[in-house]
Structure 1
């Protein structure tokens, strides 16, 4: 199979149309279409279903796309490793982590990292789902639980402690709880019950000081820790919020400051094949330094 045609095929599969792929490759729509037709003729199979709304990969096209995608990733990784030097890390670095951690603490520090290492091309992929590093969907993961995948290097980053927070406006209006039992008289924001809890003790404030015979009814359930944080910032009620997240919101006030919630260990994870990548080394060391500076290191 001709390499140039495979390059065009990859661009079309990514873009979903001849026109958008042509814009990416600086080719005309007709030139892209001819290349795809020639590739289909050479493999003797249709690669796309053509619809008015765009292109959809056929079963044969999906098979070829997964293979070509893997090849492109390996070439990109090899190019980055060849260009990289001990003194000047260079190349792409795709980092995946949770929406909550990525949207608050991590993005807050990316300006400094990019200024220190301008030749590292960083992409953040934020999702609460566990991304498969073995399939090279990301280079690095920052995870809130110990990885289960084999052949991954993992390093503990920090213990994330959750505590109770509400806005000063809410507490001025509703009063400040003095004991855990007082939480029963307040509006509580918790993690949604229809979604698997990321941590078993996520909704610990529902049982803190509560009478087991009189279960508390939260004012709102959200299946995302960042959504819980945002709801608390509006003054809706009291929520369990990770310490690193609460620090980014000046209008939040600690509730029951003598009460600590559960802690979650976070891990810096990457594939064995990237053990010697300078991009990953400098990124890991940067995170560890910021965590140490902010007093968030393991307790």
Structure 2
């Protein structure tokens, strides 16, 4: 099958318009249209429904678009690996992690990465859904559990725990609980147990809720929980890696915390030689080492 026709088909399917695809490919609309007609004749099927507002893929067109999308990802990966053979670190790196870790720990440290590699472009994808790294939905993942997908290089970064935190102002106004049972006299801020989160955090919240908590604020990510805590709304269930960047937070009921949660960095085996991936991996590992040292110094102070 003619790769050039497939490339043009993919651009049209992605843009939903012959004109927009032509602009992207630097081809005239008539040239694009001829290539699409030629491909449809070759396959003996219609790939698009044509109407005044644009083009919509037929069922057969959807099947072919899925195939060309996968092919395009593979070509992009190969291109990136070839370009990574250069000495300089540049180009796009797609990083996926959870909303909380991405906004509260990773993003504030990114200036150091850009300072060292100004030509690197990071696409930070924050969501709880686990993206498929072998299918190149992302290049690198930082997750709160060991990845189960095959053909991945894995590196355990650190262990974290979910703990209870509040501001000094809230505790001064509402008192400091001495026992877990005292939590019923306070407002609890946490993720809803039905929302996507690590099992250890969910189990901790379920344990706390057994104590007849009367006032509750639930948010679907830890960034929202932190905002509630910082605005003196109550006692929040938050990951302990926040303590370093928010030193005014006070841990409440230190004996009430979750089980350890491992944090893993992973990337596809095919990106083992990628200089972009290596640069990002080394940056994260250096930041983890700095984080651990500061935590030890705080504990020993």
Q: Considering the TM-score relative to the shorter chain, is it more than 0.5?
A: yes
More helix by proportion, 1 or 2? 2
With normalisation by structure 1, the TM-score equals 0.84
Instruction: Note the C-alpha offset of 1:135.
Output: 1.5
Instruction: Note the C-alpha offset of 1:108.
Output: 1.5
Which residue number in structure 2 is paired with residue 97 of structure 1? 97
Which residue number in structure 2 is paired with residue 75 of structure 1? 75
Equivalent-residue separation in structure 1 for 2:293 and 2:222 (angstroms): 19
Secondary structure of the 2:88 match is coil
Which residue number in structure 1 is paired with residue 280 of structure 2? 283
Which residue number in structure 2 is paired with residue 269 of structure 1? 266
Greater shift in the superposed pair: 252-261 or 230-239: 252-261
Instruction: Note the C-alpha offset of 1:97.
Output: 0.9
Q: CA RMSD in A?
A: 3.0
Residue 195 of structure 1 pairs with residue 192 of structure 2: no
Greater shift in the superposed pair: 282-291 or 186-195: 186-195
Secondary structure of the 1:202 match is helix
Which residue number in structure 2 is paired with residue 244 of structure 1? 241
Unaligned stretches of 5+ residues in structure 2: 297-301
Equivalent-residue separation in structure 2 for 1:247 and 1:298 (angstroms): 7
With normalisation by structure 2, the TM-score equals 0.84
Unaligned stretches of 5+ residues in structure 1: none
Change (3 A) 1:298 1:231: closer
Which residue number in structure 2 is paired with residue 178 of structure 1? 178
Change (3 A) 1:178 1:298: closer
Residue 220 of structure 1 pairs with residue 217 of structure 2: yes
Contact 2:13 2:65 in 1 (8 A): yes
Change (3 A) 1:39 1:101: same
Which residue number in structure 1 is paired with residue 43 of structure 2? 43
Change (3 A) 1:55 1:245: farther
**Which residues in structure 2 correspond to 1:14-163 (within 5 Å)?**
14-27=14-27, 32-50=32-50, 55-85=55-85, 87-163=87-163
